[in-house]
Chains A and B, each alone.
Chain A
Amino acid sequence: MEPIVEFKDFSWKYKSSKDRVLKSIDLKIYKGDYLGIMGPTGAGKSTLCACINGLIPLKTRGFISGSVEIFGENTRNLKMPDITARVGLIFQDPETQFIMMNVEDEIALGLETLGLERGEIKKRIEWALDVVGLKGFEPRSPEELSGGQKQRVAIASILAMRPEILILDEPTSDLDPLGKQEVFELLEKIKTEFNLTIVLVSHETRKIIEFCNRVIIIDDGEKKYDGDAAELLDKIDLLKSSGIYIPEDICEKRIAEAKPIVKLSKKPIIEISDISYTYPDKIQALKNISLQIFQGDFIAIIGKNGSGKTTLVKHFNGLLKPQQGKVQLNEKVITEYSIPQIAQIVGFCYQNPDHQLFKSTIKEEIEFGLRNLKFPDKEIEKRHDEIVALLHLKKFEEVYESSFYLSKGIRQRLALASVLVLKPDILIVDEPSTGQDFLMISEFMKILEDLNRENKTIIIITHNPYIIAKYSKEVVILDDGKLIKKLPTEEFLKNEELQHNACFIPP
């Protein structure tokens, strides 16, 4: 059988990179393959995908050796539209893939390029939206869609073009576990129905084993493994060295080792009483929520996309004010605090560190909050040194003059440092796992675990079942703006009904 994609001793170096990003890759992809690509962040997985759909070398500057052939033709001799008519690529961030003003136009954009007639375009739009479960969403603008819905639109817009090869670069990173499961099932369905060849980049080891027939592991630009997905778990050492998650029965272990939760104080550090919140577009995000959080708690706030998790935590540090009910911080109504006072009690780490870093050097970034609050120079220097040592940022401060050149994982750590330097008692972290590999997540969570041991209150918003099961002491479940329950993690892991409510699938 002839391969439809073939990498022959292929190497690639971006014009701006120091070293080759892909090194002597030999790879054959056959029609009907469901190929999983795994590896740590920065290993070259996305670069490999860009080579299959011609973005490299046709639209990217760099240095090439060897060749990539698609349907028997060297990509260097083809034009982008020739490739994209047969190869569809879906990226990780659904926000930047949404080019047009609404769902219908977004799907029509690629179809117009194919030169299809109006009637055919209309049929394909309806079909693609039906396949991804978004029938009736045609007039919606990107602002009216959740992250998961945008990801489905991205899939629909490529599917409608009826490609023979579908490449998906971490397409489920913004989805809740149930949403992820739905996307994987959807891919399985369309693969069978249209005999598609699918190339999927993912950190989800279980899903790769469950759905893919073949897997390759890329690390530092080299192909380390190419074989049967079912045999992946036999390569434990390789998985460990490549920072890939090795599935374990973490839930059973956690239930077996259950310990009673000891509260350090009887007085809550945060007390929410009957709060409700409706956004100006009339979407009621929170409905009569009451909740108590104590010093030393490690809480995971969970629930499906759009259940009100971020809206709730924004009340903990006064970013939002409840339209009904009250929020108390250390037994004082939150509105009685000034913004600088709150910043020294409640720290907030955003999902995307790019939203949180606004200084050009690592040192300036760490010291920004302290200087803004007019701390004396001596104290600023002391705290800076402490936090740099705690989060192991010293070597980056010495090597990188500017924080803009840091990798996403280190930028996330820097964002945490810039918050922790204010020594808050409570730390809120919004989805610490997006776009990170298992090793990075583990390192980051270890830091939070250590902080919690020092009696800091940790509140995380996450969809990641591994983080919930491994690190949180308690879970708060939200559904459609309502508080379903707050309970110890071990009890949650035993209760299938609550897990279903929270769109949770055990890791």
Chain B
Amino acid sequence: MSKKGVIISTSTLSKTFFSYIPTDSFIARLHPLTKLGLLFILSVIAYMFNNIIDLLALLILDIILILLTKVPVFSKKFLKIIGGYLLANSSIFIAWCLFSQRAGSITYFETTIIIVKDIWIWNILITDQTIYYASRIALRSLIMFFLALMFFIGTTDRDLIHGLRSIKVPFTICLIINLIFRGIAMFQNDFQIIKEAMQTRGVEFKRASIPQKIRNFVSIFIAMIVLLFKKTEEMANSIESRGIPFRSKNRTIYHYFPLKKKDFVIFAAVLMFFAFSIYLRIYNYSLVDFLLNYIPRIISFIPITLIW
């Protein structure tokens, strides 16, 4: 652990969804479970607001969180992650526009693509409502992506395991999660070697037709299954041979990673925001409207109240 209580390590899963970028920031120093809480609660809040402006406000909050991680936002690795996701998000927007067929007050485009007798008609209808709903879906997806990104660039797989163990999550569960992470890293490596081995026997992945590609991947998975059985058995033997029981009263914890005051403060703030969002949802208020209209009034009352 570093002086500030952060476990300094690299992520075993750095090539997967755990795109850990080591930084020394307020977010990086938070307990992994606090970050996980932020991710889930703010994602739920994103589904409580339907107004585009509100969703944009939440997106700005996400961007602030990302900036707080002190990640080098212009680094090649970071831009690659963002670029990849923006591409995926654009396809969500386009897919919604192509398939939703939502009626609106202004029609921008309408055409029929396929008619299968009376069974199915694919009609593209793009109206103001289509654009509105597509933007809503894309924005929510973007909010959740930025939250996940905040979590994964600021947390290693190892931090998460230690975090869970420190709050007394049963060792069995922690070990299983750990083995899943370890297995992903190991099989990622095996997948690459098997793919190369197929190439050395003349298999082309890039130029192959889709059915051929499917057949090639099935072949890879057959080899992967054989390896999975062998390696799982060997790992199980390795665990058993070190006498690691799933339940043990004597087990101690070497890396203790407790929740600190700042974790409780952040958690409390997020829960308050959650409660506030429920209130706004019940009374159908917009988050931004409420903040702009009511907060200045409340603030202006504070000095009067104080004088009184």
Contact = CB atoms under 8 A, between A and B. Distances in A.
Nearest to B220: A358
Interface in A243-299: none
Contacts of A181: none
Nearest to B219: A358
B156 interface: yes
Interface residues of A, number: 73
B200 A355 contact: no
A80 B240 CA distance: 7
A98 B182 contact: yes
Dominant secondary structure at the B interface: helix
B84 interface: no
B85 interface: no
Given A339-B202, A343-B201, A358-B223, A99 B178 contact: yes
A458 to B, nearest CB: 16
A105 interface: yes
Given A141-B12, A355-B190, A418-B201, A96 B234 contact: yes
A340 B204 contact: yes
Interface stretch (B28-36, B59-67, B133-141, B225-233): B225-233
A449 interface: no
B155 interface: no
Interface string B1-17: 00000001111100000
Given A55-B240, A342-B202, A404-B226, 12 more contacts: A96-B238, A97-B238, A100-B178, A100-B182, A101-B182, A142-B182, A317-B200, A343-B199, A343-B200, A356-B197, A356-B223, A360-B222
B182 A99 contact: yes
B199 A109 contact: no
A269 B242 CA distance: 51
A158 B204 CA distance: 44
B252 A115 contact: yes
A158 B199 CA distance: 40
Contacts of B102: none
Interface in A384-412: 404
Most chain A beta-carbon neighbours within 10 Å: one of B179, B186, B203, B256 = B203
A481 B241 CA distance: 38
A112 B219 contact: no
Interface in A96-117: 96-102, 105, 108-117
Contacts of A97: 234-235, 238
B303 interface: no
Contacts of B240: 55, 59, 80
10 contacts: A88-B241, A98-B182, A99-B239, A101-B181, A112-B253, A118-B254, A140-B10, A354-B223, A355-B193, A355-B223
A347 interface: yes
A350 B193 CA distance: 9
A202 B29 CA distance: 47
Interface stretch (B45-53, B120-128, B243-251, B260-268): B243-251
Contacts of B161: 101
Nearest to A157: B242
B157 A85 contact: no
Contacts of B280: none
B131 interface: no
Given A84-B243, A89-B241, A110-B243, A419 B200 contact: yes
A422 interface: yes
Interface string A55-99: 100010000000000000000000011111100110101011111
A141 B9 contact: yes
A96 B231 contact: yes
B255 interface: yes
B182 to A, nearest CB: 7
Contacts of A121: 252, 254
A117 B252 contact: yes
Contacts of B243: 80-85, 110, 113
A109 B201 contact: no
Given A118-B254, A344-B202, A419-B201, A102 B242 contact: no
B238 to A, nearest CB: 5
Interface in B33-82: none
Contacts of A433: none
A110 B243 CA distance: 8
A112 B182 contact: no
Nearest to B13: A101
A360 B204 CA distance: 21
A408 B295 CA distance: 73
Contacts of A122: 254
B198 interface: yes
Contacts of A96: 186, 231, 234-235, 238
B230 A113 contact: no
A281 B67 CA distance: 25
A338 interface: yes
Given A139-B8, A139-B10, A95 B201 contact: no
B25 interface: no
Interface stretch (A30-38, A230-238, A368-376): A368-376
Most chain B beta-carbon neighbours within 10 Å: one of A83, A143, A360 = A143
Contacts of B178: 99-101
A75 B239 CA distance: 18
Contact of B238 (A99, A116, A419): A99
B69 to A, nearest CB: 20
Most chain B beta-carbon neighbours within 10 Å: one of A95, A111, A314 = A95
Contact of A355 (B157, B179, B197): B197
A321 to B, nearest CB: 13
A113 B10 contact: no
Interface string B203-221: 1100000000000000110
Contacts of A354: 223, 226-227, 230
Given A55-B240, A101-B182, A350-B197, A141 B10 contact: yes
A186 interface: no
A348 interface: yes
